[in-house]
A and B are shown apart, each in its own frame.
Chain A
Amino acid sequence: MAFENNVDVEHPVHDVRSEAIKNFEKKGFPSKKEEAWKYTSLNNLQKIDFSIFPKEENALEYKDVKKYFLHEIDTYKIVFIDGIYSSYLSETTHDGVDICLMSAALAKPMYQQVIDVYFNKVASKDESLTTLNTAFSREGAYIYIPKNKMPRKPIEILHFATGNEASLMLQPRNLVIVEENAEVQIIERHQSLTGNEVLTNSVTEIFAAENGIVDYYKIQNDSHTASLIDNTYINQKDKSVVRVHTFSFGGKLTRNNLNFYQNGEYIDSTMKGVTILGDKQHVHHHTLVHHIEPNCESHQDYKGIYGDSATGVFNGKIIVDKIAQKTNAFQQNNNILVSDKATINTKPQLEIFADDVKCSHGCTIGQLDEDALFYLQTRGIPQKEARALLMYAFANNVLATVRIPELKTRINKLIANKLGVNLGFDL
């Protein structure tokens, strides 16, 4: 089962896993009775008989899935098809940095020391879905960037589901370690190519050492039968910068549990998101920033546009410990509801124990600015197009911090597409 296929039975990871199994058995799946899951129900998903390990391997041609890659530029690629690594579609490296497979990192003694220090260290030991992943994950991305290094190009982690199984559950496990003064850019995407049910329960651990910089982009534009539970845990040291951008444009149910732990001073943590949903889609952004040391900053900016019967949740928790003086924590969640049936629940949770801090939060749920609409109309742009253009501008505001220009253009186009805006990008 799982990593056991290729990892020595003596490996300490097995102890971690059996403990995780025990913990999961104790807790089971989260229910709506738990505060954190009040607005997101997994009941319907639990009724589906998911196959955890697909029976046969499937192959994909690059030309058929090219559009899901950031093909405008050269990237490293770690690609999985139905949870199984595709060496054919991937491009990994060990040249100065390690961009490879989790199973390989666990199996080879040369990585043992790093694994001992980092694997399952920041991930929760008792959150049930995280323990489920720890117990049953079989593959994922392993990214290790040593001191003062930066990979030559961004890294793409792609998961494809082909529909080989009537319903498939995937549990990828990623580990990203960025040492002192090192830097990395990662793009993660889950893509179902089928109408069959897919449930992904992903765990990513990110460690940023002193002065490390991590840019992590999550593209969630999946099919109507694909659900994703993303659990991301980030441990930051002094002066490190970690930015996570989450673009949620589709999927049946998407839950983003994003947890930042600031274990040092002068840290910058940034979380940004654009959510554009329709039909009966559901997205829940659940963030936590724990300010443990003084002089750190966190920035949260989530924009949502909800149409049809889509539902959204934003729950942003900020904890400022007593010694974490001079903390600057900002949180912003703005939403536009385009239809009467769409709903959004937004909830800031601030627990501040220090007295010399700057914390702000703001939630808005509203319609478009009528003055702005009038402005566009006086330029001859019909009301319908003007509305779409304003929504585009509203969402786009978040993209200023996207540092890969080609990705920014790609997201621009996705947003425009989603909103039916024709801006003639050829110009």
Chain B
Amino acid sequence: MLKIKNLHAQVEDKEILKGINLEVKPGEVHAIMGPNGSRKSTLAEVISGKEEFEVTEGSIELDGEDLEDVAPEERAHKGIFLSFQYPVEIPGVSVTNFMKTAINESGKAKGLEDMPANEMLKLIREKSELLEIDRKFLSRSLNEGFSGGEKKRNEIFQMAMLEPKVAILDETDSGLDIDALRIVANGVNKLKSKDNAVIVITHYQRLLDYIVPDFVHVLHDGKIVKSGGKELAMELEEKGYDWLKQEAAI
């Protein structure tokens, strides 16, 4: 479904991704781990099409289609979703109105009419229950004054609404207490199907206890230096990243 081949990217003449290869098939969960500054978030943003980064070599394909020169919103329409590490606050725009705009814009791109208000409300109710989100929360301004946990829960709520093919969760576990972590992870697991895929970016094993990966990749200095099964995550939790850095240096 998502095929990344020899991906190189740079920002202001500085190479930041140095030849990434990654294939994600429908139904799979991939975890990308790695120390601070290993470019995990950069990879997520490049996949989502952030214009600040220039792809200099290699390609990203979604269902066989090259995403080069495809704008972030079009990538979203095609089924890529990024749950942000630091979601942006939008005062004056309620969660509901924001979701309505997002859903209808995606619909418009597919040549669909705006979703009728009652259908929209039903969908919002259904998905918000999945994330145990309170009704009142939906009329609040997007992310404004939200706690860390509320922001992350809201990200996964948006994911539930948009039903992406490939969801990238960038440090969704950071800033979450154990209850919020469980709610968020349950939400993600309920949204999982044989037709979609999830890429979990995280520092720690913690989230992977709940969202169990099929593959674990370790990113270091813009390259995947090791891949393995879920046991690799446990090994990292135990041994840290230094041994991998040394291995990579050799």
Which residues on A are within 8 Å of B, measured CB to CB?
369-372, 374-383, 385-386, 389-390, 392-393, 395-397, 399-400, 412, 422-427
Kindly provide the distance from the CB of B27 to the nearest chain A CB, expressed in whole angstroms.
23
Interface contact B76-A380, CB-CB below 8 Å: yes
A371-B52 Cα distance, complex, nearest whole Å: 10
Which residues on B are within 8 Å of A, measured CB to CB?
45, 48-52, 71-73, 75-77, 80-82, 84, 87-88, 90-93, 96-98, 100-106, 109, 114, 117, 120-121, 158, 162
Interface contact B102-A380, CB-CB below 8 Å: yes
Closest to B139 in A: A427
Interface contact A423-B88, CB-CB below 8 Å: no
Interface contact B97-A425, CB-CB below 8 Å: yes
A397-B93 Cα distance, complex, nearest whole Å: 10
A279-B63 Cα distance, complex, nearest whole Å: 46
Residues of B within 8 A of A395 (CB): 92
Interface contact B101-A424, CB-CB below 8 Å: yes
Residues of A within 8 A of B102 (CB): 379-381
Kindly provide the distance from the CB of B248 to the nearest chain A CB, expressed in whole angstroms.
30
Interface contact B101-A372, CB-CB below 8 Å: no
Interface contact A375-B73, CB-CB below 8 Å: no
Interface contact B100-A377, CB-CB below 8 Å: no
Kindly provide the distance from the CB of A401 to the nearest chain B CB, expressed in whole angstroms.
13
Closest to A375 in B: B88
Interface contact B90-A382, CB-CB below 8 Å: no
Residues of A within 8 A of B104 (CB): 424
27 contacts between A and B (CB under 8 A): A372-B88, A372-B90, A374-B45, A374-B51, A375-B84, A376-B88, A377-B72, A378-B48, A378-B49, A378-B72, A378-B76, A378-B81, A379-B98, A380-B162, A381-B101, A382-B71, A383-B73, A390-B90, A393-B93, A396-B91, A397-B91, A397-B92, A423-B97, A424-B101, A424-B114, A427-B117, A427-B121
Kindly provide the distance from the CB of B143 to the nearest chain A CB, expressed in whole angstroms.
9
Closest to A377 in B: B72
Output the residue of B50, B82, B101 with the most chain A CB within 10 A.
Answer: B101
Supposing A375-B84, A380-B105, A427-B117 touch, asked if A392 and B92 sit within 8 A by C-beta, the answer is yes
Kindly provide the distance from the CB of A412 to the nearest chain B CB, expressed in whole angstroms.
7
Residues of A within 8 A of B45 (CB): 374
A380-B121 Cα distance, complex, nearest whole Å: 19
Closest to B102 in A: A379
Interface contact A379-B158, CB-CB below 8 Å: yes
The 3 closest A-B pairs by CB, nearest first: A396-B92, A377-B72, A380-B76
Kindly provide the distance from the CB of B237 to the nearest chain A CB, expressed in whole angstroms.
30
Interface contact B109-A380, CB-CB below 8 Å: yes
Interface contact B84-A377, CB-CB below 8 Å: no
Output the residue of A380, A393, A424, A426 with the most chain B CB within 10 A.
Answer: A380
Instruction: List 16 other contacts, CB 8 Å, given A380-B105, A424-B104.
Output: A370-B52, A374-B72, A375-B84, A375-B88, A378-B73, A378-B82, A379-B158, A389-B93, A389-B101, A393-B93, A397-B92, A412-B92, A423-B97, A424-B100, A425-B97, A427-B120
Kindly provide the distance from the CB of A220 to the nearest chain B CB, expressed in whole angstroms.
20
Residues of B within 8 A of A393 (CB): 90-93
